[in-house]
Structure 1
Amino acid sequence: MCTSVMYQNKMGQWFLARTMDFSFELGGRPVVIPRNFHFKSDAETNGFDTKLGFTGAGRDLNGYILVDGVNEAGVGAATLYFDGLAKFADAPVADKLNLAPHEVVNWILGNVDSVADLKQKIASLNIVAVENALFKIVVPLHWIVSDKSGACVVIEQDENGMKVMDDPVKVMTNSPDFQWHLKNLNNYVQLKPTSHSSKKYGDFESDAYGLGSGALGLPGDYTSVSRFVRAAFIRENTEKAASISGSVNALSHILNSVEIPKGVKADNEGGCDYTQYRGYMSLEEGAYYMQPYEDQTITRVALTPELLNAEAPSEFPLQTEQQFHSVN
């Protein structure tokens, strides 16, 4: 079902990271979409054009679909499931750019150079309830978008229309809606990284056994509600790294707290959600890091001039050796 967080290191550089939690095998890999690319669309005959190059996790399904990534301007975006609440337009609108839900990340990364720019341009979109060819359903999605200044928003479209909301927590999971998650944090104001002080009960003084009592009550299950609280607490209190590689390492530890192993989150039809990969978007660097479930090796793809100005998209296989691999 997915969890996403932002993180800032000691140098002031921002990162967007996510787990991709799903039961259906998505088969994504690192992809680079060059500048000035034309996408076909399931919602509009003419498709749409992009200006900016970007990289992220995607797949060629008679046209590339990316579910997360970072562009050359330092904007990162990710799709997350919004089951039961997402509601999109029934039909295209003549004076707007009509997109299927699964096409929104492509448009954002290809045309938006900041969160402020997104807020200006989002009114031109009409997200239409069009089926995804892989899933054969209208995929219920919402989106987290951030930039290298640290700005972060959540985009949700429900029965009341589209909302673009600043994300002060810099965390997002799944349903319920984002504002509900923010209010729910009021139930966890007692959480802290240090231990609680002793407590008197009559003449008896109670003290905690060892360190860590400040996190008592931190939910440990795999619901989106609990993952939101857990990610917010751990992200807020994780030390700031002093390098890009240290930042990716720190993010991997943050996401470890919400990663879903195979077998522990099963449905009633025999399926099982698990964390198929973790994606790390280095916004200042313009690089994407992908870490799959079966092999913890991280594959890095950076936006080089050659890739940005290529005539066609570039795909990169995930590395399987136990080493850090870089594509420059």
Structure 2
Amino acid sequence: MCTSLTYENSRGDQFLARTMDFAFELGGQPIFMPRNQTIKGDAGEFSTKYGFIGAGRNLSHYMFVDGVNEFGLGAAALYFPEYVAYQKVAPTDKLGLAPHDVTAWALGNAKSVADLRELVKTIQILDVPVALLGITTPLHFIFSDSTGDTAVLEATSADLQLIDDPVGVMANAPQLSWHLQNLSTYGTMQAAERPLHDYEGLELKTQGPGTGALGLPGDYTSPSRFVRTVYNKHYSIKTDNTPDTLNLLQHLLDSVTIPKGVKLKADGKSDYTQYRGYANLSERTYYMEPYDNLELQGVKLTDKMLTEWDTPVEYPLDHTPHIKALN
């Protein structure tokens, strides 16, 4: 289970951040994928045109769950259990893709969200398992680009189309439309303190700042994480540079980050935030922050990488906790 959000700072720079919450150890790390690759996907071979960097892993082939490409298109795949309706076969005029290959296909072939709106009409997402997990992963996807255009792809039928995401937030099931409607339940919340009324002559004493957010859900369910992220994103003070924006995004994700052991599945295993990913869509830079080291570790797409490198490059993460001694 995961949470994702977009963010625009006061300079106009666009970001896409996410938590990766899962019980099975995914072993993801930053990987650079060059231009013009042929990928032997689990539903069949597909090609890419554009270079990108993101969190992935090389098994039978390179698979990605989030990242940013050379044009500033960002993508993130999030779990979407019980709502997907994958197809068994693709029509002859469409490319069949396994769910876990959609991120790489999108980042490798689309320049923008507008571009992707047309490209998704040429694919079909198929019921094909990923060997690492032994299941077909139920996924939906959030896409955002350097203009701030943001949309979600949910394969709830054979007819694939992007859905506009006006709040730039996504969590897990139910569908985005349900989450957006659910926001109306919390539409009266505010950052400012609410004034108290006297009851029957009793002068009530204030509980202090924060009363405007009374009722904000604090649990780790998908609806609660969605609402909490929208609220915190909306009321947070705007930043005006990259370091401050990344720092703010870390704090925004803090409210939905899951420590080991506090969210157990039916089999007793713990979902937890294995890493947090941050894509600067304007500067074509991707950062990962693993569970055991809260220092951001980034890779920037450079012109040299895009024009001269033709082999994927893996960047191992430093999992050592960084502590700075002051004496």
TM-score, structure 2 length as denominator? 0.95
TM superposition shift of 1:305: 2.1
User: Kindly, what percent of the aligned residue pairs are identical?
Assistant: 48
2:120–2:160 CA contact under 8 A, matched in 1: no
> Are 2:11 and 1:22 equivalent residues in the alignment?
no
Secondary structure of 1:162's counterpart equals: coil
Query: 1:216 and 1:28 mapped to 2: Cα distance?
Result: 37
1-side partners of 2:159 and 2:204: how far apart? Answer: 52
Residue 289 in structure 1 maps to residue 287 in structure 2: yes
One-letter code aligned to 1:216: L
Moved more, 153-162 or 230-239: 153-162
Deviations 1:107-144 (A, max 9, x none): 11001111111111110011111111111111000000
CA distance in 2, matches of 1:73, 1:115: 11
1:217 aligns with 2:215: yes
Q: How many Å apart are 1:200 and its aligned residue?
A: 2.7
Are residues 207 and 179 of structure 1, via their aligned partners in 2, closer, same or farther at CA, if it must alter by over 3 Å? farther
Native 8 Å contact 1:115 1:152 kept in 2: yes
Residue 92 (structure 1) shift: 2.5
Aligned to 1:112: 110
Letter in 2 for 1:230: R
Deviation at 1:99, TM superposition (A): 0.5
State the one-letter code of the partner of 1:93: P
Give 1:240 deviation, angstroms.
Answer: 1.4
1:6 maps to 6
Q: Which runs of 5+ in 2 are unaligned?
A: none
**1:154-169 equivalence runs, <5 A:** 154-159=152-157, 161-169=159-167
Report if the CA contact (8 A) 2:121-2:161 is conserved.
no
State how 1:198-277 maps to structure 2 within 5 Å: 198-277=196-275
CA shift digits 1:160-210 (9 cap, x unpaired): 743421000100000011100000000001211111112132323434311
Q: Secondary structure at the match of 1:290?
A: strand
Q: Aligned residue for 2:316?
A: 317
Could you tell me which residue of structure 1 aligns to residue 31 of structure 2? 31
Equivalent residue letter for 2:10? K
Task: Find the aligned partners of 2:201 and 2:177 in 1 and give their Cα distance.
Answer: 44
TM-score (norm 1): 0.95
1:91 aligns with 2:98: no
Would you say the 8 A contact 1:76–1:147 is kept in 2? yes
Which one-letter code corresponds to 1:285 in the other structure? E
Give the residue type in structure 2 aligned to 1:119. Answer: R
Q: Which runs of 5+ in 1 are unaligned?
A: none
Query: Which SS does the other structure have where 2:107 is aligned?
Result: helix
Structure 1 residues 36, 323: CA separation in 2 closer, same or farther (over 3 Å shift)? farther
Q: Quote the residue 1:48 is aligned against.
A: 46
Aligned residues: 322
* One-letter amino acid of the structure 1 residue matched with residue 111 of structure 2: D
